[in-house]
Structure 1
Amino acid sequence: MNTVSEVRCSIDEIDEQILRLLAKRRDLDIRMADIKYNSGLPVRETHENEQSMQRLMDAGMSLNLSPDFVDSVFRTVFANSLSQQISYIQGIVGINHQLNRKLNVSFLGNVGTYSYLATYKYFNSICDYIQPKNCTSFDDIIKAVESGECDCGVLPIENTSSGCINEVYDLLQKSDVKIIGELTYPIEHTILVKKDTELSRIKRLYAHPQPFSQCSDWLRANLPDVELKACSSSSEAMETVKNLDRDDCAAIGCSEAGALYSLKSIHGNIANQKRNITRFIVIGMSNIIVPQDIEAKTSITFTTENTPGSLVRVLNVFSRNNINVVKLQSRPRIQNNLDSETRGVWDETFYADILINANTPLMTALLAELREVTGSIRVLGCYAVSNTAGR
């Protein structure tokens, strides 16, 4: 091998061998998932993976490969293996509706928050036991997943009354987590109290800022002079009212959650929109593969040039390919280590949900077209479409 083309040809042959071996490993991942499912074993094997990683780094050093390089490559391989196994088991559960395994899941607040209720609704169908990680911020939810402390996280992303939760969209720009699922959960806001009282006696009302926004019309009409006390979560609000044990303090929450804190509802259905639904996304560190016979949604972000018609050119790509865009949200672009562009030319980031399976030739062709009319584009994840009743 004395020429560049000869060496490049040999490298290409090795790369193809690596691909064939990765495909063989994928088949073994599926076999492993089947054994774990039937044996009731947990999918995640943190201790075993760390032992394997140490063994691989030692072996790599004997081959003059950097331990950091080996670690980087096989962290990706292990993450994909976990994703493959979870995806396979989710397909089984879609038929059998039973599974014996534990998942560590991060979500906002403690017992009784809407995130708590939505999390258990989603995961009760795919795992036997949830180990919760109660977080006080959306950022903490994501960091728990990024660090490996949790397998998955649950984030509210939009509400039919208050609209999009911009903080979550901004955090997704900065993070490399993947969206692996979604669910919708009906929100039924009520006024919760510890002691029997009248609305006219309430002086302080505790809630997360989102319920305040979602119930603003009712609050202006019925409690115009009440002092609004913002809390990090609905669970904190309910816990506070429970501990205060006063007849002039109340919280906004749902009656089901209130009962967990010995609170009772004195007025219900207070949201601006009576059909009040929150959409949640489920995040993990690796993409899942959605079976072709299941309706799939793919979430992407892209930047556009700050010139007239730039967004229209992007939308025309979706139209030509007959792709339904079910969500389009604009946010100021946040510079981060995932971004190689120089800020100034590409100033706006768009978040889009499109009805297409990311693991198809059509998606590959679509991305190629989009790259011609965008500054950058990222696939945040592909997942099964949720119905309005939730998963």
Structure 2
Amino acid sequence: MNTISEVRCSINEIDSEILRLLAKRKELDIKMADLKYSQGLPVRETRENEQSMQKLMDAGMELNLSPDFVDSVFRTVFANSLSQQISYIQGIVGINHQLNRKLKVSFLGNVGTYSYLATYKYFNSICDYIQPKNCTTFDDIISAVETGECDCGVLPIENTSSGCINEVYDLLQKSNVKIIGELTYPIEHTILVKQDTDLSKIKTLYAHPQPFSQCSDWLHANLPDVELKACSSSSEAMDTVRKLDRDDCAAIGCREAGALYSLKAIHGNIANQKRNITRFIVISMSNIIVPPDIEAKTSITFTTENTPGSLVRVLNVFSSHNINVVKLQSRPRIQNNLDNEPRGVWDETFYADILINVNTPLMTGLMAELRQVTGSIRVLGCYAASDATGR
């Protein structure tokens, strides 16, 4: 083996063998998913993966391979394995409509929040038991998923009345989580009380800041002098009113959730927009693979130069491929370890939801063209569009 071509030929043979082994590993991933599904076991095996990784790094050092290199390679392999297993089980769920396993899920607030209701609505057909992780901030929801404490998290991202939830968009800039699902949930804000009372007696109103924003017109017209006290979640607001047990305190929440706190509604349908709907996203640390026969939505972020026509050039790429952009949102760009571009004072990050499956040749070509007209671009996730799932 004395020539470059001979060495290259040997390297190619090794690469081909690696591919064959990865394909064989994929077959075993599917078998593993099938066994986990039939036995009702969780898909994610954090402790087992960490133990395997340590053994691999130790073995790699004996073969003169750096631990960082081994970690980088097998983190990708493990992530793909998890993605394959989740996708396979989702296929079973699509046939059997029930997945006999447990999921750890983080969401905002406790029992009765809209996030709580949305979480159980989404996962009702996916698992028979949810182990909830009640969080007080959006950041906590994401952190629980990033650390492996939870399999998934549920985040509200926009509302038909108050618009986009900017804090969530900003957190997605800094996080490695993947969007694996979405759902919409109808929001019916009501005034909830513990004691028999009427609106004229209410002096203090408790709610999460979002309901205050979404009901601002009604509050200004009907409770202009009431003190508004913000809570970390709707469940905290309802629990506070339950504990105070006074006729001059009320909370904003939905009628069904209020009943869980022994509260009753004295006035309903108070949102600025009568058709008040919140869109939630479901996050995980691994991508899923959406079957080709299901309408897929892909969420991306990208940056552009601060010059005339830069955004138009990006949108023209979507238009030329007949790709429907169903959401476009801009936020100030946050410098973080996922973004190595130099940052200007007024630089923006754009978020786009596009109706396309990421695992298609069309998407591959689209991304290649987008890289020519963007500063940076990142896929946040590909998932079944909510209209397609009926959720």
Q: Same fold (TM over 0.5)?
A: yes
2:384 aligned partner, one-letter code: A
Give, in whole Å, the separation in 1 of the partners of 2:226 and 2:10: 74
**Superposed displacement of residue 43, structure 1:** 1.6
Q: Could you say which residue in structure 2 is the equivalent of 1:88? A: 88
Q: Which has the larger displacement, 20-29 or 323-332?
A: 20-29
Give, in whole Å, the separation in 2 of the partners of 1:244 and 1:388: 44
Are 1:184 and 1:390, in contact at CA under 8 Å, matched by a contact in 2? no
Are 1:87 and 1:288, in contact at CA under 8 Å, matched by a contact in 2? yes
Give the alignment's Cα RMSD to 1 decimal.
1.8
Are 1:296 and 1:383, in contact at CA under 8 Å, matched by a contact in 2? yes
Q: Could you say which residue in structure 1 is the equivalent of 2:155? A: 155
1:375 aligned partner, one-letter code: G
Q: Aligned to 1:270, what secondary structure does the other structure show?
A: coil
Q: Could you say which residue in structure 2 is the equivalent of 1:368? A: 368
Give, in whole Å, the separation in 1 of the partners of 2:171 and 2:236: 23
Give, in whole Å, the separation in 2 of the partners of 1:273 and 1:284: 32
Q: Could you say which residue in structure 1 is the equivalent of 2:169? A: 169
**Superposed displacement of residue 79, structure 1:** 2.3
Give, in whole Å, the separation in 2 of the partners of 1:266 and 1:346: 47
Give, in whole Å, the separation in 1 of the partners of 2:382 and 2:280: 14
**Superposed displacement of residue 57, structure 1:** 2.3
Q: Could you say which residue in structure 2 is the equivalent of 1:220? A: 220
Q: Deviations over 1:204-255 (max 9, x none)?
A: 1000000000001110110011100001111111111111111101000001
**Superposed displacement of residue 4, structure 1:** 6.1
Are 2:204 and 2:229, in contact at CA under 8 Å, matched by a contact in 1? yes
Q: Could you say which residue in structure 1 is the equivalent of 2:341? A: 341
The alpha-carbon distance between structure 1 residues 12 and 228, as it changes in their structure 2 partners (threshold 3 A), is: farther
**Superposed displacement of residue 169, structure 1:** 0.5
2:51 aligned partner, one-letter code: Q
Q: Could you say which residue in structure 1 is the equivalent of 2:121? A: 121
Are 1:42 and 1:100, in contact at CA under 8 Å, matched by a contact in 2? no
1:290 aligned partner, one-letter code: V
1:47 aligned partner, one-letter code: R
Are 1:185 and 1:389, in contact at CA under 8 Å, matched by a contact in 2? no
2:370 aligned partner, one-letter code: L
Give, in whole Å, the separation in 2 of the partners of 1:322 and 1:225: 52
Give, in whole Å, the separation in 2 of the partners of 1:57 and 1:184: 43
The alpha-carbon distance between structure 1 residues 345 and 260, as it changes in their structure 2 partners (threshold 3 A), is: closer
Give, in whole Å, the separation in 1 of the partners of 2:193 and 2:389: 28
Q: Aligned to 1:32, what secondary structure does the other structure show?
A: helix
The alpha-carbon distance between structure 1 residues 60 and 257, as it changes in their structure 2 partners (threshold 3 A), is: same
**Superposed displacement of residue 152, structure 1:** 0.6
**Superposed displacement of residue 20, structure 1:** 3.2
Q: Could you say which residue in structure 1 is the equivalent of 2:358? A: 358
**Superposed displacement of residue 348, structure 1:** 1.4
Q: Aligned to 1:387, what secondary structure does the other structure show?
A: helix
Are 1:191 and 1:268, in contact at CA under 8 Å, matched by a contact in 2? yes
Are 2:294 and 2:388, in contact at CA under 8 Å, matched by a contact in 1? no
Q: Aligned to 1:338, what secondary structure does the other structure show?
A: coil
Ranges in structure 2 where 5+ consecutive residues have no aligned partner:
none
**Superposed displacement of residue 343, structure 1:** 1.2
Q: Could you say which residue in structure 2 is the equivalent of 1:183? A: 183
Q: Could you say which residue in structure 2 is the equivalent of 1:285? A: 285
Q: Could you say which residue in structure 2 is the equivalent of 1:252? A: 252
Q: Which has the larger displacement, 61-70 or 96-105?
A: 61-70
Give, in whole Å, the separation in 1 of the partners of 2:18 and 2:346: 37
Q: Could you say which residue in structure 2 is the equivalent of 1:33? A: 33
The alpha-carbon distance between structure 1 residues 237 and 60, as it changes in their structure 2 partners (threshold 3 A), is: same
Q: Could you say which residue in structure 2 is the equivalent of 1:75? A: 75
Q: Aligned to 1:25, what secondary structure does the other structure show?
A: helix
Q: Deviations over 1:284-322 (max 9, x none)?
A: 111110000010000000001111111110000000001
| Aligned positions of 1:3-152 closer than 5 A | 7=7, 10-152=10-152
**Superposed displacement of residue 326, structure 1:** 0.3
What is the TM-score of this pair, normalised by structure 2? 0.96
Are 1:346 and 1:375, in contact at CA under 8 Å, matched by a contact in 2? no
Give, in whole Å, the separation in 1 of the partners of 2:346 and 2:360: 28
Give, in whole Å, the separation in 1 of the partners of 2:155 and 2:241: 25
Give the aligned length: 391
1:328 aligned partner, one-letter code: L
| Aligned positions of 1:191-340 closer than 5 A | 191-340=191-340
Q: Aligned to 1:29, what secondary structure does the other structure show?
A: helix
Give, in whole Å, the separation in 2 of the partners of 1:282 and 1:134: 15
Give, in whole Å, the separation in 2 of the partners of 1:340 and 1:379: 16
**Superposed displacement of residue 130, structure 1:** 0.8
Q: Aligned to 1:372, what secondary structure does the other structure show?
A: helix
1:386 aligned partner, one-letter code: S
Give, in whole Å, the separation in 2 of the partners of 1:170 and 1:284: 17
